[in-house]
C-alpha cells in the first residue's frame, strides 16, 4: 500500500505545475532568487488596479496576479482604489486614472494593439501605468511588464511605448483532422477533435497564453493540404469552441479552405471560381461560419500546388480563385491568405522561378483583403535560401512572409537549431526594389509599398509532447517568430537572451554559454548539411537525412540531382543568364551582387553558379577542399555545443539538462552521417580525396544509400 501511494505521489509530482518538463514554456513565474531585486520590486508594487470588464481584461488580470505572486513570493492585492506604488492598467475609456495622464501622444502611435508603460504619479501617488487604446493592448502590456520582471530588469523609471510592426502575426498548423501533423516532430496534434466541443483541454488555454505573451494574434488550425470536412457543421461547432478559448487572448481563428469544397461537401458539379453557383456557395458557407465564429479571421489557401485543386483546374488564374473567396469574407471583415508556393512538373522552368512567373503578372489584380503568402526563399524552407524574388516585386499586392518554425529541413525533432538568425538573414536582406534599404522586412510590414495590411506567418512546431515542441530548444523558435512579428528590428541575441532568462534562469554563466550555443547552431547545421549554397539534397518523402544521390523520383524537381547538378566538372545550379536566368527576377543591384562567381557571397555560391571543383575560394582552398572544410567544421561545431552544454550542468535542472544532452548526442551522430554521406557521394564526381588530417568516413557510400526510414515522423 505504501509503495502504491509513493508511486501515485511521484506521478502527481511529475505532472504538477512545477515540473521542469518544459510544459510551462517561457511563462515560468518562479520566485526570483535575487532577494535584493525582489525587495526593490516589492517596494514598487503594492497592489494592482485593472479597469475594464471584458474577457481580455479578466485573463490579463489573472496573468498579472499569478505572475507577480509567483515571482515576488507574496499575495498581491487587486484594488479598485489606487494606492501608492500601484500598477494601474487600462484604457483612457475604462480608467479615469489612465485618461488623466499625459499619454495621448504616445497612445496615438500605439494603434489598436500597442501599449505604453510608464512610471509616473497620480494624485500624488507613485504608480506604474500600463495603458493602451484597447483591452488587447493592455494585455500585451501586462505580458511585457511580466517579461521585465522575469528577465530581472529595473522598473524604477519606465518609459516604454511599443506597437506591432506587422498586423497579422499568425501560426499555421499543418494539423490534420485525424491528429496527424504533417512535418510535425512533437507528437500528435494538440487539437483533440473527437473530444471537442465538449471537452476543453487546459492545453488550449496555455497555448493561447503563450501566443498572447509574444504577440501572436492568429492561428490557422488546419493543414494547408486541406480537408473540406472542417467546413461542415460537425467541425464548425468544434472550431467555435476553440475560438471561444482564444478570443480573450486576442487570437483569431483561421481555417484552410480546400478549393474543391463546393464539389466535395457542397454537391456541386464544379468548383470554377467564376461560376455564379460556386460564388454563391462560398458566400453561403462563409455566412454559416460566421454564425459559429463571429470574429472568424478568414481562409488560408494552398491551390494548384503539389496536387491540391485550384482555379487553374478551370483555366482560371490565382487572382480569380482568391477573389472569389475574398468577396465571400469581405462583408465580415475577413481576409484570404493565398499561398504563392506553386510549381508544376509540366513546367520546364527552373522551379526557383515559378512562383514569380505565376504571381508577378497578377500584381494589382487581387482584392484588397487578399494577402499573398510567400515562403522566405524561392524553393522550400531549405536550411539557407536567398530571399524570394517576389518580395518587393508586387507593389500593388500585400505580401506576407511564411517562415517554417517546424524543422522539416533543419534536422527535425532531434537537432538544436535556433532559427532567429535564419529569419533575420531574410528579413534584413535588401531587395533594392526602391533603392538601397528596401529590405524584405519593409516589404512585409507594408512600409515600402504602403500596403493596407501586413502579415507574417510561421508553420508551427507544436504538438502533444509535454514540452510542446519535441526538442526543448524548439520553443525558442516559436518564441522568436512571435517576437520578430511584433518587432523585426530585435536582434537574434536579444531574443535568445529573453527566452533563456524566462525559460531557464538568469545566471550569467548559463546565459552566456547557452546563448553562444544558440547563436552558432544554425550556421553549424548549414555546414554539416548544405554548405556553400547546396540545397534540397535530403531524403525522399520524409526529408530525414542526406540523399544527394536520388534521381529516380517521378518529378524532376523532387530529385536532389536536379538541384546540385554535380558532375566531373563541378557542382551547383547555374541561375545566371548563362543558365536558368533566375537572377533576372531580382533588382539589378541584387543581380550584380550574385552574377559573378568571384563576387557572389559564398554562402549562396552554389545556389547561383555551377562551380569548378578546383575553383579558388576566398580562403585559398579549392571548392572541393572548402566543401570538405565546411562539412567537417559543422560536425566540430556540434561537438563544441556538446562540451559547452556539459559545463552548464550545475545550473540547470536534471530533467531538462539530460533531455538536451541526449538530443545533442543524437545530433552529433546525424551530423557525422550527413557529412560522410554527402562527401562520399560528391567525391564520386570530384574524383578528389578528402584532405588528410580529417577523420575518414567509417562507412561506405553504399551503406549510406541502403539506409531506409519508412516510418520517419512528419511525413505526409
Task: Report the relative pairing of strands 298-301 and 252-256 from DSSP bridges.
Answer: parallel
**How does residue 714 score in pLDDT terms, banded at 50, 70 and 90?**
confident
User: For the domain 527-573+610-706, what is the CATH code?
Assistant: 3.90.1330.10
The structure's pTM equals: 0.96
Q: Which helix (H) or strand (E) holds 611?
A: strand 611-612
Rounded CA gap, 193 and 470, in Å? 21
- Out of 209-218, 338-347, 391-400, 570-579, least confident range: 338-347
Mean pLDDT of 400-410: 98
Tens digit of each residue's pLDDT (9 = 90 or more) over 562-610: 999 999 999 999 999 999 999 999 999 999 999 999 999 999 999 999 9
**pLDDT score for 2:** 43
Q: Which of 57, 218, 225 is nearest to 137 (CA)?
A: 57
Q: Where are the domains of the chain?
A: 22-162, 168-490, 527-573+610-706
* CB atoms closer than 10 angstroms to residue 613: 20
For the question of residue 306 being annotated catalytic, the response is yes
Rounded CA gap, 392 and 402, in Å? 15
Mean pLDDT (the chain, rounded): 95
User: For residue 106, is pLDDT > 50?
Assistant: yes
What is the chain's alpha carbon radius of gyration, rounded to the nearest angstrom? 26
**pLDDT score for 18:** 55
Mean pLDDT of 49-75: 97
Q: Which of 197, 171, 174 is nearest to 185 (CA)?
A: 174
Q: Which residues contact 117 (CB under 8 A, 6 or more apart)?
A: 128, 129, 130, 131, 141, 144, 145, 158, 159, 160
Specify which residues 86 forms β-bridges with: 47, 127
Superfamily (CATH H level) for 22-162:
Chitobiase/beta-hexosaminidase domain 2-like (3.30.379.10)
Tens digit of each residue's pLDDT (9 = 90 or more) over 510-530: 999 999 999 999 999 999 999
**pLDDT score for 347:** 72
Tens digit of each residue's pLDDT (9 = 90 or more) over 651-678: 999 999 999 999 999 999 999 999 999 9
* CB atoms closer than 10 angstroms to residue 598: 8
Residue 540, class by beta-carbon neighbours within 10 Å (0-12 exposed, 13-18 middle, 19+ buried)?
Answer: middle
- Out of 186-190, 303-307, 584-588, least confident range: 303-307
**pLDDT score for 562:** 96
Give the cell for residue 583: 537572377
**pLDDT score for 25:** 98
Mean pLDDT of 500-510: 98
Of the residues 113, 182, 408, 498, which is catalytic?
A: 408
Q: Which of 72, 76, 70 is nearest to 49 (CA)?
A: 76
Question: Is 527-573+610-706 the same fold as 168-490?
Answer: no
User: For residue 387, is pLDDT > 70?
Assistant: yes
**pLDDT score for 8:** 34
What is the per-residue DSSP string for 370-424? EEEEEESSSSSS-SS-PPPTTTTT-TTS-EEEEEE-S-TTTTGGG-----HHHHH
**pLDDT score for 3:** 44
Of the residues 192, 201, 275, 306, which is catalytic?
A: 306
- Per the model's pLDDT, the better-predicted residue between 476 and 13 turns out to be 476
Residues in the chain: 716
**pLDDT score for 716:** 66
Q: Under a CB-based contact definition with an 8 Å cutoff, are residues 254 and 297 in contact?
A: yes
**pLDDT score for 715:** 79
Alpha helices in 541-622 (DSSP H): 560-564, 588-595, 605-608
Query: What one-character DSSP code corresponds to residue 548?
Result: T
User: For residue 30, is pLDDT > 60?
Assistant: yes
Dihedral angle, C-alpha 194, 405, 557, 441, nearest 10 °: 130
Alpha carbon separation from 636 to 131, 511, 528, 675 (Å, rounded):
50, 22, 9, 11
Query: What one-character DSSP code corresponds to residue 449?
Result: T
User: For residue 62, is pLDDT > 50?
Assistant: yes
Give the cell for residue 154: 529595473
Query: What one-character DSSP code corresponds to residue 622?
Result: B
Q: Which residues contact 569 (CB under 8 A, 6 or more apart)?
A: 610, 612, 613
Q: Which backbone phi and psi does 711 adopt, to 5 degrees?
A: -120, 30
**pLDDT score for 348:** 81
Query: What one-character DSSP code corresponds to residue 697?
Result: P
User: For residue 10, is pLDDT > 70?
Assistant: no
> Domain 168-490 falls in which CATH fold?
TIM Barrel (3.20.20)
Whether cis (ω within 30° of 0) applies to the bond prior to 197 is yes
Of the residues 380, 487, 602, 655, which is catalytic?
A: 380
Phi-psi region of 607 (alpha: psi -120 to 50; beta: other; left: phi over 0): alpha
Alpha helices in 492-615 (DSSP H): 492-503, 508-529, 560-564, 588-595, 605-608
Tens digit of each residue's pLDDT (9 = 90 or more) over 227-269: 999 999 999 999 999 999 999 999 999 999 999 999 999 999 9
Tens digit of each residue's pLDDT (9 = 90 or more) over 193-225: 999 999 999 999 999 999 999 999 999 999 999
Q: Which residue has the cell 531574443?
A: 495
- Per the model's pLDDT, the better-predicted residue between 715 and 70 turns out to be 70
Q: Which residues contact 330 (CB under 8 A, 6 or more apart)?
A: 367, 369
For the question of residue 380 being annotated catalytic, the response is yes
**How does residue 5 score in pLDDT terms, banded at 50, 70 and 90?**
very low
Tens digit of each residue's pLDDT (9 = 90 or more) over 626-635: 999 999 999 9
Tens digit of each residue's pLDDT (9 = 90 or more) over 437-471: 999 999 999 999 999 999 999 999 999 999 999 99
Residue 234, class by beta-carbon neighbours within 10 Å (0-12 exposed, 13-18 middle, 19+ buried)?
Answer: exposed
Give the cell for residue 688: 578528389
SS3 665: helix
Rounded CA gap, 108 and 496, in Å? 31
Tens digit of each residue's pLDDT (9 = 90 or more) over 266-291: 999 999 999 999 999 999 999 999 99
CA 614 to chain centre: 39
Q: Under a CB-based contact definition with an 8 Å cutoff, are residues 335 and 371 in contact?
A: yes
**pLDDT score for 344:** 79
Q: Under a CB-based contact definition with an 8 Å cutoff, are residues 633 and 527 in contact?
A: yes
Amino acid at each position: 500500500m505504501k509503495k502504491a501511494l509513493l508511486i501515485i505521489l511521484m506521478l502527481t509530482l511529475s505532472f504538477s505545475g512545477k515540473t521542469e518538463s518544459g510544459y510551462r514554456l517561457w511563462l515560468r513565474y518562479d520566485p526570483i532568487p535575487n532577494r535584493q531585486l525582489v525587495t526593490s520590486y516589492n517596494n514598487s508594487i503594492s497592489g494592482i488596479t485593472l479597469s475594464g470588464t471584458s474577457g481580455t481584461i479578466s485573463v490579463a488580470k489573472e496573468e498579472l496576479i499569478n505572475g507577480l505572486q509567483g515571482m515576488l513570493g507574496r499575495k498581491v492585492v487587486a484594488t479598485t482604489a489606487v494606492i501608492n506604488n500601484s500598477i494601474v492598467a487600462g484604457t483612457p475609456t475604462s480608467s479615469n486614472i489612465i485618461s488623466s495622464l499625459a499619454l495621448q501622444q504616445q497612445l496615438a502611435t500605439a494603434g489598436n494593439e500597442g501599449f505604453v508603460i510608464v512610471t509616473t504619479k497620480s494624485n500624488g501617488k507613485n504608480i506604474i501605468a500600463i495603458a493602451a487604446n484597447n483591452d488587447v493592448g493592455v494585455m500585451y502590456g501586462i505580458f511585457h511588464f511580466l517579461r521585465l520582471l522575469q528577465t530581472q530588469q529595473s522598473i524604477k523609471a519606465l518609459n516604454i511605448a511599443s506597437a506591432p510592426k506587422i498586423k497579422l502575426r499568425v501560426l499555421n498548423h499543418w494539423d490534420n483532422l485525424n491528429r496527424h501533423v504533417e512535418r510535425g516532430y512533437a507528437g500528435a496534434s494538440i487539437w483533440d477533435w473527437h473530444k471537442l466541443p465538449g471537452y476543453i483541454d487546459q492545453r488550449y488555454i496555455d497555448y493561447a497564453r503563450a501566443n498572447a505573451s509574444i504577440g501572436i494574434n492568429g492561428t490557422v488550425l488546419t493543414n494547408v493540404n486541406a480537408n473540406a470536412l472542417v467546413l461542415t457543421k460537425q467541425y464548425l461547432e468544434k472550431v467555435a469552441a476553440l475560438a471561444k478559448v482564444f478570443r480573450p487572448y486576442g487570437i483569431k481563428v483561421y481555417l484552410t479552405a480546400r478549393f474543391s469544397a463546393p464539389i466535395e461537401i457542397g454537391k456541386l458539379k464544379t468548383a470554377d471560381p467564376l461560376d455564379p453557383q460556386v460564388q454563391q456557395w462560398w458566400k453561403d458557407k462563409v455566412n454559416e461560419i460566421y454564425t459559429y465564429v463571429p470574429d472568424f479571421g478568414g481562409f488560408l489557401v494552398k491551390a494548384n500546388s503539389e496536387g491540391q485543386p485550384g482555379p487553374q483546374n478551370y483555366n482560371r488564374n490565382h487572382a480569380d480563385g482568391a477573389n472569389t473567396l475574398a468577396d465571400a469574407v469581405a462583408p465580415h471583415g475577413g481576409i484570404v491568405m493565398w499561398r504563392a508556393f506553386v510549381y508544376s512538373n509540366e513546367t520546364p522552368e527552373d522551379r526557383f522561378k515559378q512562383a514569380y512567373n505565376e504571381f508577378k503578372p497578377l500584381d494589382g489584380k487581387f482584392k484588397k483583403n487578399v494577402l499573398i503568402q510567400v515562403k522566405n526563399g524561392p524553393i522550400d524552407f531549405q536550411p539557407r535560401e536567398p530571399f524570394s524574388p517576389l518580395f518587393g516585386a508586387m507593389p500593388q499586392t500585400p505580401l506576407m512572409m511564411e517562415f517554417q518554425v517546424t524543422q522539416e529541413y533543419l534536422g527535425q525533432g532531434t537537432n538544436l537549431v535556433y532559427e532567429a538568425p535564419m529569419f533575420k538573414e531574410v528579413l534584413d536582406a535588401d531587395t533594392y526594389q526602391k533603392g538601397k534599404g528596401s529590405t524584405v522586412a519593409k516589404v512585409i510590414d507594408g512600409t515600402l509599398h504602403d500596403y493596407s495590411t501586413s502579415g507574417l506567418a510561421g508553420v508551427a512546431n507544436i504538438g502533444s509532447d509535454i514540452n510542446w515542441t519535441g526538442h526543448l530548444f524548439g520553443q525558442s523558435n516559436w518564441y522568436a517568430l512571435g517576437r520578430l512579428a511584433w518587432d523585426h528590428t530585435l536582434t537574434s541575441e536579444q531574443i535568445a537572451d529573453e527566452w533563456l532568462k524566462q525559460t531557464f534562469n538568469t545566471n550569467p554563466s548559463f546565459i552566456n554559454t547557452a546563448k553562444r550555443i544558440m547563436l552558432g547552431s544554425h550556421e553549424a547545421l548549414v555546414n554539416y548539411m548544405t554548405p556553400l549554397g547546396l540545397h534540397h539534397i535530403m531524403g525522399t518523402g520524409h526529408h530525414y537525412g542526406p540523399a544527394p544521390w536520388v534521381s529516380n523520383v517521378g518529378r524532376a524537381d523532387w530529385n536532389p540531382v536536379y538541384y546540385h547538378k554535380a558532375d566531373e566538372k563541378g557542382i551547383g545550379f547555374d541561375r545566371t543568364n548563362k543558365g536558368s536566368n533566375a537572377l533576372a527576377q531580382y533588382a539589378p543591384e541584387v543581380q550584380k551582387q550574385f552574377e559573378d562567381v568571384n563576387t557572389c557571397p559564398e554562402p549562396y555560391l552554389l545556389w547561383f553558379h555551377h562551380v569548378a571543383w578546383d575553383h579558388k575560394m576566398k580562403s585559398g582552398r579549392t571548392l572541393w577542399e572548402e566543401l570538405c572544410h565546411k562539412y567537417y567544421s559543422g560536425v566540430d561545431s556540434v561537438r563544441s555545443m556538446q562540451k559547452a552544454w556539459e559545463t552548464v550542468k550545475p545550473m540547470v535542472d536534471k530533467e531538462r539538462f539530460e533531455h538536451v544532452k541526449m538530443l545533442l548526442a543524437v545530433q552529433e551522430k546525424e551530423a557525422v552521417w550527413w557529412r560522410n554521406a554527402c562527401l562520399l557521394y560528391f567525391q564520386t564526381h570530384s574524383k578528389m580525396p578528402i584532405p588528410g588530417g580529417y577523420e575518414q568516413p567509417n562507412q561506405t557510400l553504399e551503406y549510406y544509400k541502403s539506409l531506409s526510414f519508412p516510418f520517419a515522423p512528419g511525413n505526409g
